[in-house]
Structure 1
């Protein structure tokens, strides 16, 4: 397994990348919020050679408009991953699925994933649809063992000192290849 982090406007533009292989960066929320630090946070990741993913925090409302808003902010490169952060109980399972399928259609060359916690996955999800992969949050003190039976790609296992994740890949190169990026 390999290690990574995720960052939002709560973290600095220049974060510690030592020992990390990937980073997920929050870009948007709903149809109006954009993380003011995301471009510099992406530069930090790219300068360190990390595999990058970008996420949208979904809100109740028109999910295709939210997806278009999210996609309008990004200048994607090969290997960038795209993620729906599903934490708002106002976003239905059907809306979750619609966002992921819409983004997959709009950006077919990029992996599109679902991020959620175990409560949403086990108690709100009705389709087990996570696009190209599930990024599951479960702070159970067992990194790499998120406590679900469904196959997962990423496990967010703590938020101390910041959101830290493991990915179910052998190496950074294998993640980059899976995500559609060129070999290092």
Structure 2
């Protein structure tokens, strides 16, 4: 099993990256039809696809999206929309793993992504205290790591992270950061991360879904997909 130190070294290459980038996007069933061939032709090289939510929901388009992305040549992975009020982090990690969130060291599969954002119900932090939220996240990522040897990517915004985790610095050495900020610059990052791995910089990608930019070149993205 890979150690935390080894994984941190693998993602640490991005700290010094200043100019190289790879375009990607993320999608769910809201994008029922995606022209993956066009997206690849336009230069996109990775896509992150919604797989699950909580412990009862599987995105109905996940399997089709994943197959099409694979056939078009993309590096791809699944993401899990967290519902921390409904069940434990471990339960949701295991559900994600069983329904599209797994990982293999094949060079084209990204570790799964844990999507942490404002609750659709308006209860921003799902009724959890900051300490309970940090424990929930830790439960999820350690369960995922135990099953795959990889820590999942963590998707969040700086504002949510500050509000709902108390700006915890506990995860920057483990999970790569996917930061959401729709602006001309990435801005202040959540505590614990000195650099981002992926920046979701717009909610309107040309091929549907959200626009993402990987902070590195294609060979570095492939390293994450290989787990090395």
Determine if the TM-score, normalized by the shorter chain, exceeds 0.5.
Answer: yes
Matched, 1:176 2:222: yes
Name the one with the larger strand percent. 1
- Larger RCO (CA under 8 A, 6+ residues apart): 2
**Gapped regions of structure 1 (runs ≥ 5):** none
Kindly report which structure 2 residues correspond to 1:34-183, keeping only aligned pairs within 5 A, or say none: 34-59=58-83, 60=85, 61-74=87-100, 76-78=103-105, 79=107, 80=109, 81-87=111-117, 88=119, 89-90=125-126, 92-108=133-149, 110-125=150-165, 126-130=168-172, 131-142=174-185, 145-148=186-189, 150-161=194-205, 162-171=209-218, 173-180=219-226
TM-score (ref. length: structure 1):
0.86
Q: Secondary structure at the match of 1:64?
A: helix
SS state of the match for residue 217, structure 2? coil
Aligned residues: 178
Deviation at 1:32, TM superposition (A): 0.3
Structure showing greater Rg: 2
Distance 1:146 1:20, change over 3 A: farther
Deviations 1:138-169 (A, max 9, x none): 11233xx3432632100001012430010111
Match of 1:3 in 2: 23
Report SS of the residue matched to 1:127: coil
Normalising by structure 2, report the TM-score: 0.71
Greater than 6 Å deviation, 4+ residue runs: none
Q: Which has the higher helix share?
A: 2
Alpha carbon RMSD of aligned pairs, Å? 2.1
